[in-house]
Amino acid sequence: MAGYGYEVDFLPVGNGDKSGDAIALRYGEPGNYKVMVVDGGTKESGKKLVDHIKSNYGTTHVDYLVNTHPDGDHASGLEVVLEQLTVGEVWVHRPWEYAEEIRHWFKDGRITDESLAARMRDLLSHAYRLEELANEKGVPVYEPYAGAKIGDFYVLSPDPDWYLELVPQFNKTPTAHSASMVEAMKSFGTRALEKLVAWADEHWHIETLSEDGETSSENESSVVLYGNLNGRGVLLTGDAGIQALGKAIDYATEIGVDLIKSRFIQVPHHGSRNNVSPSILDRLVGPKVVEGAAPTKTAFVSASKESEVHSRKVVTNAFLRRGANVHQTKGQQKRHSHNMPDREGWTASKPIPFHSQVEGG
């Protein structure tokens, strides 16, 4: 298809330390583009998404609206999009529908299916609100499990059985909580604390990224999407962790997709070092390339402007080593496009360089 093109836009999300995702995509042939929104960030970034779709995509219609996981920094902006634009399909997990299947995980006999469903609707209120709004507007709601097709994108993870195992673990601190406590302390930005951060030396051939990072079950429940856009792979990972990414790679292999051929990759969870490992990145991004080789693919990180933990240099180095140029939002919009019209006033973004020192400890 000669005229086929695509563009992926990462809008800036977040204030202070909180990072989220607000991603708009357009793909197809001129006159017949499909528009997809994957997470909407906060309400503020939801408004930016609406403006972006109207002014840059020239439409008030979103074909597919996808929520990767129920965290507020990913889901709440989608409410604004659903309120202010017309939407063809809403894709969101609805765990409150499965209280009966999940209840055996809870030992407390006083918990009923209905009380558990109510608790989940309350805890995951941003996602539940999307279902409510879609119902009010008569927009069909589907659940994004492995095997589902959303436009030209495949859902690679989670599969329904694993999802039901993850839900009872929601709202819990992951076992690596000592690390996240340290990160939380650092995020206050106190200079004195910052000095306590140890630095580790890295070289092209010396990688210090850990093999055993852990992230929350909510993050692991993130929808992983792969689009084959006229032969070019686009991979979106939400806040998926090592487990979800491993499952996504396995499922992709099953359906004959080689993820390392992707041209565009979202760095998961805002560049956190808890969500990727060297062995996962070897299978997701590709094997390490020769030092100095020109990057063959593009990776984007959605990281809030002030965050000191998003993105991690140990992570951006790991992507660079595997042939991916990394760009991060940090308060700015980032666009990746192929065979699409130029956008006025748009200048090329500078990739993150390789760092010879990364955060240690």
Per CB under 5 A, the list member of 48, 239, 314, 321 interacting with Zn ion is 239
**Nearest by Cα to 291 from 204, 183, 192:** 204
Which residue, chain included where needed, has tokens 């990394």?
A: 326
Which tokens in the block code for residue 120?
Answer: 């989940």
User: Please, how many CA atoms are within 13 Å of residue 72, restricted to the half-sphere of its CB?
Assistant: 9
Piece of 98-106, 123-131, 205-213, 233-241 that binds Zn ion (CB under 5 A): 233-241
Pick the closer one to Zn ion by CB: 220 or 239.
239
CB of 172 to Zn ion, least distance (A): 17
User: Smallest gap, in angstroms, from Cβ of residue 329 to Zn ion?
Assistant: 12
Comparing every residue's Cβ against Zn ion, the nearest one is 239
> Of the ranges 90-98, 143-151, 234-242, 316-324, which one interacts with Zn ion (CB under 5 A)?
234-242
The residue behind tokens 């309400």 is 43
Residue 359 beta carbon to Zn ion: minimum distance, rounded to whole angstroms: 19
Burial of 276 (0-12, 13-18, 19+ CB in 10 A): buried
Q: Supply the minimum distance, in Å, between the C-beta of residue 5 and Zn ion.
A: 28
**Residues numbered 105-134 forming contacts with Zn ion, rule: CB under 5 A:** none
Contacts of 14 (CB under 8 A, 6+ apart): 20, 41, 42, 45, 73, 303, 304, 305, 306, 307
Q: Give the shortest CB-261-to-Zn ion separation in angstroms.
A: 26
Size of the site for Zn ion (CB under 5 A): 1
Interaction between residue 39 and Zn ion (CB under 5 A): no
Residue whose pair of structure tokens reads 């993870």 in the numeric block: 157
The region of 147-155, 205-213, 231-239, 349-357 touching Zn ion under the rule CB under 5 A is 231-239
Rounded Cα–Cα distance for residues 164 and 55 (Å): 40
Q: Which helix (H) or strand (E) holds 19?
A: none
Cβ at position 297, least distance to Zn ion in Å: 22
Q: Considering the complex, state which of residue 275 and residue 317 has its C-beta at the smaller distance from Zn ion.
A: 275
Q: State the DSSP H helix or E strand holding residue 109, giving kind and residue range, or none if neither.
A: none
Segment contacting Zn ion by CB under 5 A, of 105-113, 202-210, 236-244, 336-344 = 236-244
The dihedral built from the CA positions of residue 106, 111, 117 and 119, taken in this order, carries a sign that is: negative
**Taking the complex as a whole, how short is the minimal distance between the CB of residue 134 and Zn ion, in angstroms?**
22
Q: Which amino acid is at 98?
A: Y
Q: Can you tell me the distance from the alpha carbon of 250 to that of 283, in angstroms, rounded to the nearest whole number?
A: 10
x-or-dash pattern for Zn ion, window 186-225, by CB under 5 A? ----------------------------------------
Q: Which is nearer to Zn ion, 14 or 323 (CB)?
A: 14
Structure tokens at 31: 């006159």
Residue 358 neighbours by CB distance under 10 Å: 20
Q: Which residues lie near Zn ion (CB under 5 A)?
A: 239
